[in-house]
Structure 1
Amino acid sequence: MKRLPVLAGAGLAAALAVFGAAAPASATGSQGPDPWLPTPHSQTIVYPGLPLPSRIAAPYIDVTAVGDLADLSQASGSRFLSLAFLQTEAPGSCTPYWAGDTSKPVTPDVYGAQFDRIRNHGGDVIPSFGGYTADTTSTDIADSCTDVHNIALAYENVFAVYKVHRIDLDVESDSITNQAGVDRRNQAIAEVEQWGRAHHWPVSFSYTLPTFPTGLAPSGVAVLQSAAKYGAKIADVNVMTFDYWDGATHDMLADAEQAATALTGQLKQTILPHASAWQLWHTVGIIQMIGIDDYGPQETFTLDEAAPLVAWAKSHGVQTMSFWALQRDDGGCPGVKGANSCDGLVQPTWAFSNAYAAFNSWF
C-alpha cells in the first residue's frame, strides 16, 4: 500500500488435521512435492484462530519496519493487525514470501509464535497480499503466477499454516489494470472458498482498492465485476480514502464518508445485486492514511477527525476500519509527508490506535 511505495505446526497436513480437515493430495506427497509445504516442526498446534468479530479495527503494519508484532499490538492497543505484505520474490514465481524476502517464507517459524501471542490477548491477524511495491513489480502473486491452481494453493497454505480466517488482497497501480491477473485472482479465490467448505474451515477474502471521493474508478469496479463473474465471494471491500493526487485540498473526513457511501452502490451493481442496505454497508471497509499522506499537506487526516469517522462508520454498519500504518502512529516527524515511521503530526504515540479501538466489537 502506498497507494505507497500456541503455536507452531507440523506443516500443512498437520494444520489441516487440527481443524478436522483432510489434507489435499499435494500436501500428503501423493502427487509429488508441494512448493508451499512449510518446514516441519516438533511443536503441535493446540487450537486454530477464532473467526473474526463482526466489526474490527485492523490497522496495517509494515512487517519489515518493526520488531515483534505481538509486542507492538499490545503497546498500541490494536488487537487486530493487517499485515503488509506477501509477494513473490520475482516475476514468474508462484511462491509468496513476506515482503518478497526468501528468508521469510510462509512457515510457522516465521511470525507464527507472534500471531499466537496476539490471539492470546484476544486479537488476530489478516495477512495481506500485494501492495504498491508488488503491484508495480509484477510480484503480486496473481500477476507473477499464471496458474490459477497454484495461486489458490498459496492462499490455502497461508490459511492453514497461520490458522487465519481472512486474507486481504491489496490491488492497485499496475495490478488493478492487469485484467488477466484480476481474473486469475478471482478464480483462485473461488477455488479456495470451495476448499474451505470442503474442509469445514471458514475462509474469507477482502479487497483493498484505491478510490476517489466519488467511489471506485472503473478499474476497481472491474475487479468486482470479475469477482461476480467467477463466483468469488468477497467479504469486505476496503477503500483507500487517501492519496487522491488531484491537486485539491481535501476534507479527509467528508471525502471518506462520501467514498464509502458511493461504494455501497457499486457493490449493489457488481457482487451484491440482491443485498439489503445492511449487507451492503457491512461489506464496506475504510482505510485512511493517518496524518499527512504521500501527496502532502492538502491531504491530511487529523487526529480530530479520527473519532468522528469511527463513530460514523459504526452508525452505518461498516465492517472494517483500518489505517496506514501502525508504525506511523506517533509524533516523530511534524510536517513531513508520507513517512513510513511517523505520520507528520504533533500527537501522542498511539493516539490514532486509541481512537480506532472504539470500533471493535466482541462478537
Structure 2
Amino acid sequence: MASHRLAYVSAAALLMAVSGCSSDDDKSTATPAPSSATAPASTSASATTIPATLRSAPYVDVVSGSLDIADVAAKTGQADFTLAFVLADSAGACTPTWGGKTAIGDSTVAASIGEITTAGGSAIVATGGATGTYLESACTQDQLVTAYGTALDAAGSNRLDVDIEQSVTVETVAGALAALQKARGTAITVTLPVEGITAGLADPGIELLQAVEDTGAEVTVNAMTMNFDAAGGGWGRAMTTAAEAVKDDLDSIWTEKSDAELYEMLGVTPMIGVNNSGGTTKSADATYLLDWAAGKDLGFVRFWSVNRDNGNCTDGSVASNCSGISQTTYQFTDQFHDYAG
C-alpha cells in the first residue's frame, strides 16, 4: 500500500485528499454518470440477499505469483481472502482485468481462486488501489455495474471491495454500487485511506460515503490504518485512534445508527511490517489493534498483504513480497485469523 495525493470528483467541486493503498510499491476523472444503471446480464434483479460479513479476509496480490494460497490455508486455517486488484485494461478501456494486464478469466488466477474454494473459504473481489486505471474512471455508470458483475462472476463471488485512492466521479460510483446491490445482493465494502491519527477520512471520502448513503445501499467501510504520520504513543495506539476518528465520520453520515451498529459496519486494514510512510506494524502493534477491534466488536479486519507475511527481508525496506521486519512466515495471518473466532 502506498502514500500519495488523491482526489474524488463530484459535479460540484474538485476535492483533494492524502495517503493510500496499492500493491506495494492516479488517473483522470470519469465522465459524469447517467442517472440509471442496468443489472449484469448474468444476475437476477430479485437476488437481494446480502452475504454476511467475512470477519477476517486479508488481501492477496493474486496476479503476482508470489503466494501459494493452498499452503497459507493449510498452515494457518485462513481460507477467506480479498483478491487485489481489478482494474481497467492496459489501454484504459472499461474492461475488467486483474492488475490492468491479466484477463479476468485467466486460468492461473482461477486456479488460485479454486484453492480458496477447496479450503472452504470465500473470495472478496477488490477493485482500485493506488496505481493503474480504475474501472471507476474508465466506465460509465451502466458499464461499471456490468464490469463489477463480470469480475464477481469470474471469481465465483458476490462480495465487492471498492478501494478508492484516486479521482472518481462520486455519483457514478455511488449509483453503480446501489444498482449492483439491488440487482444481485452484493456485499459491498468501501475502502478509504485515513488522513492521520485524529483526522479521520478526507472530505472527498466523506462525500463519497454520503452519496452512497443517499442511494440507500448497505455498505461496510474499511479504514486503511497505514501510511500516516504518528508522533508518539506507539503505532498500535495510533492505528486505533485513527480508526476511532473514522467511526466518528460514519456517525456524521449514518446518524440514525447506534455506536454498536457503526462499529459493526467498520473494518480496519493495516499494512504489516514497514509502511511506505509513517509507522511500522510489528506483531505487538497488530495485537493492540486486534484487541481494540475485538473490544468494539468491529465488523471485520484485513491487512495488506499475505504476500508480504514473511521475514524474507529484515532490512526495513518496503517490498511487495516481504514485510521488511523480522517475523515468522504467516505470523500476521495467524494473528488476524484468530479474529474470525
TM-score calculated relative to the size of structure 1: 0.76
Give the 3 Å change call, closer, same or farther, for CA 54–141 of structure 1 in structure 2.
closer
Alpha-carbon separation, structure 2, partners of 1:291 and 1:57:
18
Structure 2 unpaired stretches of 5+? 3-19, 26-39
Alpha-carbon separation, structure 2, partners of 1:117 and 1:312:
32
Identify which of 150, 156, 163 aligns with 2:156: 163
Does the aligned pair in 2 maintain the 1:91–1:144 contact within 8 Å? no
Alpha-carbon separation, structure 1, partners of 2:53 and 2:67:
29
Give the 3 Å change call, closer, same or farther, for CA 290–276 of structure 1 in structure 2.
same
Residue of structure 2 equivalent to 1:98: 98
The aligned runs of 1:30-179 (5 Å cut-off) are: 54-65=53-64, 66-90=66-90, 92-101=92-101, 104-107=102-105, 109=107, 111-134=109-132, 139-145=133-139, 147-172=140-165, 174-175=166-167, 178=168
Alpha-carbon separation, structure 1, partners of 2:293 and 2:91:
38
Residue of structure 2 equivalent to 1:218: 203
Does the aligned pair in 1 maintain the 2:125–2:159 contact within 8 Å? yes
Shift in Å at residue 256 of structure 1? 1.5
Residue of structure 1 equivalent to 2:268: 286
Q: 156-165 or 247-256: which moved more?
A: 247-256
Shift in Å at residue 345 of structure 1? 1.1
Residue of structure 1 equivalent to 2:182: 194
Alpha-carbon separation, structure 1, partners of 2:333 and 2:230:
29
Alpha-carbon separation, structure 2, partners of 1:318 and 1:110:
34
Shift in Å at residue 231 of structure 1? 3.2
Q: Deviations over 1:216-270 (max 9, x none)?
A: 1212211112212333321x111111111x4846722112211222222211222
Give the 3 Å change call, closer, same or farther, for CA 307–232 of structure 1 in structure 2.
same
Alpha-carbon separation, structure 1, partners of 2:331 and 2:69:
18
* Rg comparison, structure with higher value: 1
1:120 alignment partner AA: T
Does the aligned pair in 2 maintain the 1:242–1:252 contact within 8 Å? no
Give the 3 Å change call, closer, same or farther, for CA 22–356 of structure 1 in structure 2.
closer
Identity of aligned residues (%): 28
Does the aligned pair in 2 maintain the 1:286–1:322 contact within 8 Å? yes
Shift in Å at residue 327 of structure 1? 1.0
Give the 3 Å change call, closer, same or farther, for CA 250–292 of structure 1 in structure 2.
farther
Give the 3 Å change call, closer, same or farther, for CA 229–330 of structure 1 in structure 2.
same
Q: 61-70 or 159-168: which moved more?
A: 61-70
Structure with greater contact order relative to length (CA < 8 Å, sep ≥ 6): 2
Shift in Å at residue 52 of structure 1? 5.5
2:310 matches 1:310: no
Q: SS of 2:131's equivalent?
A: helix
Alpha-carbon separation, structure 2, partners of 1:227 and 1:276:
19
TM-score calculated relative to the size of structure 2: 0.81
Alpha-carbon separation, structure 2, partners of 1:359 and 1:132:
27
Alpha-carbon separation, structure 1, partners of 2:45 and 2:265:
31
RMSD over aligned CA atoms reads 2.6
Alpha-carbon separation, structure 2, partners of 1:354 and 1:53:
22
Give the 3 Å change call, closer, same or farther, for CA 54–207 of structure 1 in structure 2.
closer
Q: SS of 2:188's equivalent?
A: strand
Residue of structure 1 equivalent to 2:36: none
Shift in Å at residue 143 of structure 1? 0.9
Shift in Å at residue 326 of structure 1? 0.6
Q: Deviations over 1:314-348 (max 9, x none)?
A: 22111111111111111111132321111111111
Q: Deviations over 1:85-137 (max 9, x none)?
A: 00012465111100011xx3223745334323312322111110000112xxx
Alpha-carbon separation, structure 2, partners of 1:113 and 1:284:
31
Does the aligned pair in 1 maintain the 2:58–2:80 contact within 8 Å? yes
2:150 alignment partner AA: N
